[in-house]
């Protein structure tokens, strides 16, 4: 019984660490995608501004 509880606790710990790593990886990818989208939007806005000026 104690061995089973130890295995369950180890699995819980592993699952929590693994999901934490996965969450960090996903948030980094999300931030990179958001930066790329924002960069594209700012480029489009800058191009339209330069077109309206000239």
Count up the domains in the chain and report the number: 1
Per-residue model confidence as pLDDT tens for the chain (54 residues): 688 899 999 999 999 998 888 888 888 888 999 999 899 999 998 888 887 776
Whole-angstrom CA distances from 7 to 4, 21, 43 are 5, 21, 54
Q: Is residue 13 part of a domain?
A: no
Range of the domain at 38: 18-54
Sign of CA dihedral 39, 44, 49, 54: positive
Q: What is the pLDDT of residue 1?
A: 66
Q: What is the pLDDT of residue 9?
A: 93
Q: What is the pLDDT of residue 14?
A: 93
What one-character DSSP code corresponds to residue 54? Answer: -
The Cα 26–Cα 54 span in angstroms is 42
Q: Is residue 12 part of a domain?
A: no
- SS3 label, residue 1: coil
Q: What is the pTM of this model?
A: 0.44
The Cα 1–Cα 50 span in angstroms is 73
């Amino acid at each position: 019984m104690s061995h089973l509880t130890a295995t369950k606790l180890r699995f819980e710990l592993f699952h929590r660490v693994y999901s934490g790593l996965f969450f960090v990886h996903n948030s980094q990818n999300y931030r990179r995608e958001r930066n790329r989208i924002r960069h594209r939007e700012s480029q489009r806005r800058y191009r339209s501004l330069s077109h309206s000026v000239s």
